[in-house]
Amino acid sequence: EAGVVQSPRYKIIEKKQPVAFWCNPISGHNTLYWYRQNLGQGPELLIRYENEEAVDDSQLPKDRFSAERLKGVDSTLKIQPAELGDSAVYLCASSSGLSGRVYEQFFGPGTRLTVL
C-alpha cells in the first residue's frame, strides 16, 4: 500500500514568489494534516482537515498561507508571497480517524522549501 505522497520533494524560490505543495494521503484516510518543521525542531501543525473541512487552522498564517482539500482527498498548501522565514520542511500526514479520538498519523517525506 502506498504511503502519503508529497510533491515536490524540494523547492527553491526567491522571496516574494508564490509556491505550492501537493499531498496525496493514504487511501481511505479522512483526516489530513499539514505541518511545518523548522531545522532542528519538531513538526508544528498548520492545518487539519476532516474530509474537506478545515477543522483546525488556528496556526495557519492566513495572510500568506492558504490550503484546500476540495474533494476530501488530495490537498494543496500555498504560500504567497514567500518570505525568507518560510524556509522549512512542509510535512503532510493522514490518519483514519475523526475528531474526538487520536489515531496514528502517517507522514509523507515532506517538501523542503528554501527561500532565497
Partner 1 sequence: GESVGLHLPTLSVQEGDNSIINCAYSNSASDYFIWYKQESGKGPQFIIDIRSNMDKRQGQRVTVLLNKTVKHLSLQIAATQPGDSAVYFCAESTRDDKIIFGKGTRLHILP
Give me the residues that bind partner 1 (CB under 8 A), please.
4, 31, 40-45, 48, 56, 91, 93, 95, 97-110
Name which of 52 and 56 has its Cβ closer to partner 1: 56
Name which of 68 and 107 has its Cβ closer to partner 1: 107
Name which of 30 and 79 has its Cβ closer to partner 1: 30
| Length in residues, the chain | 116
Name beta bridge partners: 103.
none
Name which of 65 and 110 has its Cβ closer to partner 1: 110
AA identity, residue 32: L
**Coil, helix or strand for 66?**
strand
Rg (CA), the chain: 13
AA identity, residue 84: L
CB of 91 to partner 1, least distance (A): 5
Residue with the three cell numbers 487520536: 102
CB of 81 to partner 1, least distance (A): 26
